[in-house]
Chains A and B, each alone.
Chain A
Amino acid sequence: MLLQLQNISKSFASIPALDRVNLDLQAGEVQAICGENGAGKSTLMNILTGNLQPDSGHIILEGKSVQFRNYQDATQQGISIVYQSFSLIETLSVAENIFINHLPQRWGLIRHTDLKAQTTRLLDKLQIKKISPNTLVSNLAQGQKQMVEIAKALSLNPKILILDEPTASITESETKVLLEIIRELKLQSVGIIYISHRLSEIFEIADRVSVLKDGNYQGTWPLSELSREQLIDRMVGRKLEPSTNQSFVQSEVVLEVKNLTGENFQQINFQLKKGEILALAGLVGSGRTEILRAIYGSIPIFSGEIFLEGKSLTIKHPQDAIQAGLAYVPEDRKRLGIFSEMTIRDNILAVRLDKATSNGLWNPSKAEEIAQEFKEKLRIISSSLAQKAITLSGGNQQKIILAKCLLQNPKVLLVDEPTHGIDIGAKFEIYKLLKKLTEEGMSIVLISSELPEIIAIADRILVIREGQIAGELNARTAQENEIVNLATH
């Protein structure tokens, strides 16, 4: 037995985050940890890496009871973590990042030749041939950064490697390489803890899965004995209704894009009908995000035209788009979407401050009323409207952003990765909400990397490849592999 956790408990301000959690990890095993957001996964990982101390319980590493006083301590005892948010320093080179805490040195001076050689060896092992040790991290693509992050964790030769949402921001092909690396590490008897919201990956790579729910340990099962539905059932504790892909498409064309060309896309043409959900599928970096942002006016258009209800639009700034009747839910909620230090109320009102005024002056009680209405309508869970957005779970943050958009009463809603990194329960709620909006006559352009969800919710799918439309599919009949084929070619 490599690692054993016995009855680990931890509370914050007398609210239990973990309640008597047990876990055991064998050498050479990949164990997935599943649970909705707020189930206690992050807390558990923070305890394992010494960032937090458990209130009670034991950690037994290779038969010996141990304590991790801090992060450094845990690292020295052989535990490495790859965080979901990047811990790399953009202005330093790949090599300096990987060996940040243990640069090869003599008499306090860095030995650059050794540093380079060791980095090259490590990158070769990870089959990352394209990255040179001297490249600045700021010049790398998102997926490459994630690989460097993994290299950094492996540079310490850990006995246990924790991967926290390692594929959240990398492409399909990079994910394949990553899973390959994990298999390689298994053979070297590294114990791996794998946290991911993507169930298909878990079934592909993990041997066993442990489930946490509301801080309680639900059990550990070999994945060979579990179906996808059974796993979801254990995480959520309730059966999810099968998605009923009703269609509310009407005949009237609401949005039309003609020959739209910009920095990362060329000659985009499509029509969006009233009540329709049109999905833009494609790889990360295929230009799908840029198309939405160009329509919304946050990046420039080189040529082409946009028509809303038959009228040509000139959009130079998001403000123009909003006034015309477009609303936008950006990807990367933390960076582009929420005002994290502001209250729920102020977040919801961000676009339409004018709605909460009387005689042209700000009226806080009117603002409360509006925010309260949306809080109930979208089932935003919080103790009060004065709570800061940063304290909410990802799903609730996303609902705040949706509320902000709905307050504009838009004709067209542009949505980019609305379920990125949020838990299954909230995902289904958001999809249900989008469907309901189309029933009320709204039209939606949706970007998502999760193909099963696109198929389940969209009416029509446009596949984008290298900035161009590679094909159009009917969502009712489309298969996942058809989409992938068109997207990668």
Chain B
Amino acid sequence: MLKILQDRTYSLALTIAVAGLIFSSIFPDNFPTFTNFSQVLLNLSIDTIVAVGMMILLISGAFDLSVGSVVAFSGCLAAYLMDFYLLPVPLAVSMALLASLMIGWLNGYLIAYQGINPMIQTLAAMGIVRGMALMLSGSGIQNLPYWFNAISQSKLLGLQMPVWYMILTVALFAFFTHKHIFFRRYYYIGANEKAAELSGIQVKKMKLYAFMLSAALAGMAGILLTSRLGAALPTFGRGMELKVITAVILGGASLQGGMGKISGALLGALFMGLVSNAMVIARISGYWQEIILGCILILAVWIDLFFAKRAIGKST
């Protein structure tokens, strides 16, 4: 039992189930309905896609504060190219993704090869990239092509497309981090970077790839968000980096690295989504949502420390 509770994916899944049951019994008319659930999933789908990249970064012992800005930049760039240069949708989308990838490459290169601290590098990138999004879109770009909006606004089996993209991303990376040795190496890098290097793992290259992946997923999230709202705004993804890191830590990652599963990123986001949904239904003010989510994060980490202390027997 103790062992199960120590694995965050199990304990969090259990918490979500219990919370779900409690919310259902308090709000039987509004909470446990298909419409509500699909809305919750839609709301968290874009964050979760970003959280997958963040999870891989945290496993390797790094993090990226610029993802929220990349979300905005990618959407704005695609919209800009379609509106002002009349580029076809696939080309504009590919260019936006490629540009996001370049931002990730630059972050990763400066951090892994030049030794700039990830916190400082991505904090700076967060400002720079946000500024670029503002320059591209001004106060926002509307009237996007029909086919572009269709990316996110169509439905499959009653669920909005972003939900499917999220499921696909989570499933793909959950499979890879569990099964593919390339991704398993990130656990070694996070656990002990120096030992990983001496074990023949190309730590710098791997770190570079992780930042590129995280930025590419953020770029994809930006396209989905823009398409869903039918407009690109430079304010997209403001504060998203912290929200995503919160979800990922709730899902079992640690800032020290070496820990976490992709499913944890989904569960963390799901838990946050359900709690804020329940609070909206209960008409609790938005301020309280932030307070309660903050408290939940502290509580989760605290419980972890409690179990970790119990697990430590004697020190030699």
Contacts and interface: CB of A to CB of B under 8 A. Distances in A.
B180 A361 contact: yes
Given A12-B314, A13-B313, A361-B180, A340 B192 contact: yes
A42 B200 CA distance: 35
A187 interface: no
Interface residues of B, number: 25
A285 interface: no
B197 interface: yes
Given A37-B316, A318-B197, A362 B178 contact: yes
A336 B198 contact: yes
Nearest to A405: B199
B198 A339 contact: no
A360 B198 CA distance: 23
A328 B200 CA distance: 10
A321 B202 CA distance: 12
Nearest to A318: B200
Nearest to B258: A341
A319 B201 contact: yes
Contact of B195 (A15, A337, A361): A337
Interface string B171-204: 0000000111100110110011011111111100
A298 B181 contact: no
B200 A319 contact: yes
B114 interface: no
B306 to A, nearest CB: 16
B256 to A, nearest CB: 8
B315 interface: yes
Interface string A56-88: 000000000000000000000000000000000
Contacts of A338: 192, 195
A340 B315 CA distance: 13
Contacts of A238: none
B316 A350 contact: no
A357 B195 contact: no
A362 B199 contact: no
Given A336-B198, A351-B199, A42 B316 contact: yes
Contacts of B187: 342, 346
A322 B202 CA distance: 12
Nearest to B192: A339
Contacts of A318: 197-200
Given A353-B181, A354-B181, A357-B181, A391 B195 contact: no
Contacts of B197: 298, 318
Interface string A351-365: 101100100111000
Contacts of A351: 199-200
Contact of A391 (B181, B199, B201, B313): B313
B22 to A, nearest CB: 34
A404 B201 CA distance: 13
A43 B314 contact: yes
Given A350-B195, A393-B316, A339 B200 contact: no
Contacts of A13: 313
Interface in A92-124: none
A291 to B, nearest CB: 16
B316 A342 contact: no
Given A12-B313, A37-B316, A339 B188 contact: yes
Given A42-B315, A42-B316, A339-B258, A362 B194 contact: no
A321 to B, nearest CB: 8
A456 B135 CA distance: 73
A335 interface: yes
Contacts of B196: 339, 350
A42 B314 CA distance: 10
Contacts of B315: 42
A361 B179 contact: yes
Given A353-B185, A362-B184, A317 B202 contact: yes
Interface in A9-48: 12-13, 15, 17, 37-38, 42-43
A340 B180 contact: no
Contacts of B188: 339, 342, 346, 350
B5 to A, nearest CB: 17
A191 interface: no
Contacts of A337: 195, 198
Rank and list the top 6 A-B pairs by shortest CB-CB distance, nearest first. A12-B314, A353-B181, A339-B191, A319-B200, A322-B200, A350-B199
Interface of A: 12-13, 15, 17, 37-38, 42-43, 296, 298, 317-319, 321-323, 328, 330, 335-342, 346, 350-351, 353-354, 357, 360-362, 391, 393-394, 404
24 contacts: A13-B313, A17-B314, A38-B316, A43-B314, A298-B198, A318-B197, A319-B200, A321-B200, A328-B198, A336-B195, A337-B195, A338-B192, A339-B192, A339-B195, A340-B191, A341-B259, A346-B188, A350-B199, A353-B185, A354-B181, A357-B181, A360-B180, A362-B184, A394-B316
